[in-house]
Structure 1
Amino acid sequence: MNGPLASLKILDFSTLLPGPFASLLLADMGAEVLRVESPTRADLVRVLPPHVDGVSASHAYLNRNKRSIALDLKKPQAVELVKQLVSEYDIVLEQFRPGVMAKLGLGYEALKAINPKLIYVSITGYGQTGPFKARAGHDINYLALSGVASYTGRQESGPLPLGVQLADIAGGSLHGVMGLLAAVIQRQVSGEGQHVDISMTDCSFSLHGMSGAGFLAAGVEPDMQNQVLNGGSFYDYYRSRDGRWFSVGSLEPQFMQQFCEAIGKPELARMGLSPKPEDQASLKRAIEIEFEKRDFADWCEVFAALDACVEPMLKISEALEHPQLKARGVTVQVPVDAEHSQTQIACPIKFSAGLPQPRHIGAAVGAHTVAVLQALGYSEAQISELKASGAVA
């Protein structure tokens, strides 16, 4: 089983989360991904705790199924090696600030001259153009600057530092994969490659969805807890007597009626349809009072049999044991070596034809350098010479 993307060969220059998560999805779906890593400046994810047998769990996951070649791109011999590889690996994924790859002699125009079919995907914080293009940033900055954080949180406590990296993954990784695959489809038609410019800030701005459309078309500025879906209505989280939480999303009348009957307050159902902020505030307080009367386990039993858009907030350990997630196979065993494996998050995309089995966890820096050079036709003496020069490791 090869996977739907078995025909793609990708040179991955990215580090940290956005690019590696994108290439993880591609590798899981069968693409051949070769990471180009520095032998002297390690990807910081490699040292991110927790570690299992000395290997970062995050690195082992994000870089599974990928090979690694260690190249010092400041050495001309290493740059020439990349140019050789581009004739075969005709997709490049990079995450440097704009202009860095060009200074190394590996920008889009330079590599396009070698292979006109090259697809070159750049994932950056702010994109290849604009006054912020060279500015440093992280997930929290992109969410703040794009306006997403402005209505995500509580009025009394402010915006929330999300537990997941929304701009990095939904912005950089997923949009990066979409752009890359769209360029592949166009290349199949035109025979030409192109440069795909992914700005995590741009992509975060696109996540405004309904609220953004409401502002652009109708001038309604979203704020914290003033929208139906951001805490401005009963659509929210509620705490049980023992300090656990439930999500209540019973927006439709038939769900709201079931929910209100389940908590013993059927008369509250009519308030769910009211657009008045004061009605929603009263409704929320009434729901809070009811939830505080019972423990988490009691409420789980109450709502388990109902189809009312009410679910418990689970910890990761609990989510793994939930029958729905277990049935969907959200984890997979990935080989560490011939005798051992590691439990990791599985590829979430399901194909009727299936996907190839995971091959290995994230590899050591340069684990496949020799094999890649041999495939390019280098002799043992030439490889030894390259290693002595510091160009490869």
Structure 2
Amino acid sequence: MFRVLDLTRLYPGGVATRMFVDLGFDVIKVEDTETGDYLREISPKLFEWLNTGKKSVAINLKTEEGRELFYKLVRSSHVIVEGFRPGVAEKLGIDYGRLREINDRVVYCSINGYGGGGPYSGLPNHDINTVSVAGLLDPGLFSDGVPRPLTVQVADVGSALLCVIGVLSLLLRGVGGRVEVSMMEAALLFNTLNMAITYEGADPSLTGKYPFYNVYKCRDGYITIGAIETKFWRGLCRALNREDLINRQFDKEAINELSREFGKYTVAEALKLLWSHDVPAAPVNSIKDLEKDPQLVARGFNVNEFLNPLVINDARPRSRGRAPRLGENTVEILMELGLSHDEISRLTELGVVIK
């Protein structure tokens, strides 16, 4: 079994290492002895979802004895994932260059905001900052020309998935190495279509500024339309008995025409009509009502569990156990490294570890 040492906090690293758990890896959260992962307080449910099946060892890496314990863990591990700002791992003595001397086959992944070089590399950041640099908040992408925060953390989750891909690529080749993923560049990946269209001299069209790709209000809720291809746009116009709109797919004024049409229907009525004409349409679900959507329910969604989106050999990975308390597995893991109870007690008294 592959062993992963998870030095991360919060969202990106948590998603990445949770994916490793579900792929069958043994994941150990290496947490500091003061606060550990901030998610325990920020969102207990998210912490539980992202850390179920992991173990926790609490080590003070700012102490020489703490680093030596970590080095022992590195010798028996295959993957290390860290989410420090560039330069912090070097200060702690746990950067790839140092750990490669201990285990030259280890795969080391750094997830950071802007990358290891450049004028922004050492700046503090969160998802909103990295997506804004990557152009996802370009005012031209919004129908009213006013940028606003995205409602989901695409840079966080995108960088997590790229971390998993990068690590697996080295493990498949059977070699060690360092993977770097910046949240900013993960956000760029999500912006690829808009960038390509813009650089071609056109206006990005999948942004809600055109009638064929938009959200419409019905009598009792909202629906989405994704009639990108001509055949789907024609089907939409025919479904609504508005064939006069067929040549107005890129006419922004047609949004008002369609809004009036959809205002005549309930969500259920509109979807039944559109689906009967093979039009890409779907309901706009509230988060609180996700468990009522028949498609999500059919795919195994429920509000109490993390739903891993992977289905491998017709089976979806299931949660194993629960999320650990801070330092819950310290004694167990240190004893695996050969330390005695007396040695662990001494380290606890010195504040090198907590249990």
Same fold (TM over 0.5): yes
Aligned to 2:231: 254
Deviation at 1:87, TM superposition (A): 0.9
Which secondary structure does the structure 1 equivalent of 2:150 belong to? coil
Choose which of 180, 193, 205 in structure 2 pairs with 1:210.
193
Choose which of 352, 371, 375 in structure 1 pairs with 2:332.
371
Between the two proteins, the alignment pairs up a number of residues equal to 353
Residues 151 and 159 of structure 1 are in contact (CA less than 8 Å); yes or no, is this contact kept in structure 2? yes
Choose which of 210, 224, 227 in structure 1 pairs with 2:204.
227
| 1:239 matched to 2:220 | no
Separation in 1, partners of 2:103, 2:38: 31
Aligned to 1:44: 38
Deviation at 1:304, TM superposition (A): 4.9
| 1:119 matched to 2:113 | no
RMSD (Å) for aligned C-alpha atoms: 2.0
Separation in 1, partners of 2:121, 2:207: 31
Separation in 2, partners of 1:177, 1:357: 18
Deviation at 1:175, TM superposition (A): 1.1
Residues 143 and 167 of structure 1 are in contact (CA less than 8 Å); yes or no, is this contact kept in structure 2? yes
Q: Give 5+ residue unaligned stretches, structure 2.
A: none
Aligned to 1:4: none
Aligned to 1:309: 280
Return the letter of the residue paired with 2:337.
L
Separation in 1, partners of 2:281, 2:141: 21
Which secondary structure does the structure 2 equivalent of 1:89 belong to? coil
Alignment of 1:144-223 (within 5 A): 144-150=132-138, 154-156=142-144, 158-170=146-158, 172-186=159-173, 188=174, 192-216=175-199, 218=200, 220=201
Which secondary structure does the structure 1 equivalent of 2:10 belong to? coil
Question: Structure 1's 104 and 122: CA in aligned 2 closer, same or farther, altered over 3 A?
Answer: same
Aligned to 1:339: none
Aligned to 1:336: none
Residues 198 and 204 of structure 2 are in contact (CA less than 8 Å); yes or no, is this contact kept in structure 1? no
Choose which of 270, 274, 277 in structure 2 pairs with 1:299.
270
Return the letter of the residue paired with 2:164.
V
Aligned to 2:252: 281
Separation in 1, partners of 2:114, 2:311: 32
Question: Structure 1's 8 and 392: CA in aligned 2 closer, same or farther, altered over 3 A?
Answer: same
Which secondary structure does the structure 2 equivalent of 1:10 belong to? strand
Return the letter of the residue paired with 1:239.
K
Deviation at 1:305, TM superposition (A): 3.9
Residues 227 and 233 of structure 1 are in contact (CA less than 8 Å); yes or no, is this contact kept in structure 2? no
Separation in 2, partners of 1:376, 1:368: 13
Q: Deviations over 1:326-381 (max 9, x none)?
A: 222234xxxxxxxxxx8212111000064554222221101111110111111111
Return the letter of the residue paired with 1:185.
L
Aligned to 1:344: 305
TM-score (norm 2): 0.93
Deviation at 1:99, TM superposition (A): 1.3
| 1:75 matched to 2:52 | no
Separation in 2, partners of 1:25, 1:209: 25
Deviation at 1:323, TM superposition (A): 2.5
Return the letter of the residue paired with 1:105.
G
Question: Structure 1's 84 and 212: CA in aligned 2 closer, same or farther, altered over 3 A?
Answer: same
Question: Structure 1's 111 and 152: CA in aligned 2 closer, same or farther, altered over 3 A?
Answer: farther
Separation in 2, partners of 1:317, 1:255: 31
Return the letter of the residue paired with 2:279.
A
Return the letter of the residue paired with 2:192.
G
| 1:383 matched to 2:354 | no
Which secondary structure does the structure 2 equivalent of 1:281 belong to? coil
Deviation at 1:152, TM superposition (A): 7.2
Which secondary structure does the structure 1 equivalent of 2:24 belong to? coil
Separation in 1, partners of 2:142, 2:118: 32
Separation in 1, partners of 2:230, 2:145: 31
Question: Structure 1's 369 and 355: CA in aligned 2 closer, same or farther, altered over 3 A?
Answer: farther
Separation in 2, partners of 1:387, 1:298: 65
Identity of aligned residues (%): 30
Separation in 1, partners of 2:197, 2:265: 39
Aligned to 1:267: 244
Q: Deviations over 1:170-215 (max 9, x none)?
A: 1x211111111112123x2xxx311111111122123222222344
Separation in 1, partners of 2:198, 2:145: 24
Aligned to 1:91: 79
Separation in 2, partners of 1:353, 1:299: 33
Residues 310 and 316 of structure 2 are in contact (CA less than 8 Å); yes or no, is this contact kept in structure 1? no
Return the letter of the residue paired with 1:63.
N
Separation in 2, partners of 1:174, 1:109: 24
TM-score (norm 1): 0.84
Residues 153 and 160 of structure 1 are in contact (CA less than 8 Å); yes or no, is this contact kept in structure 2? no
Separation in 2, partners of 1:365, 1:307: 52
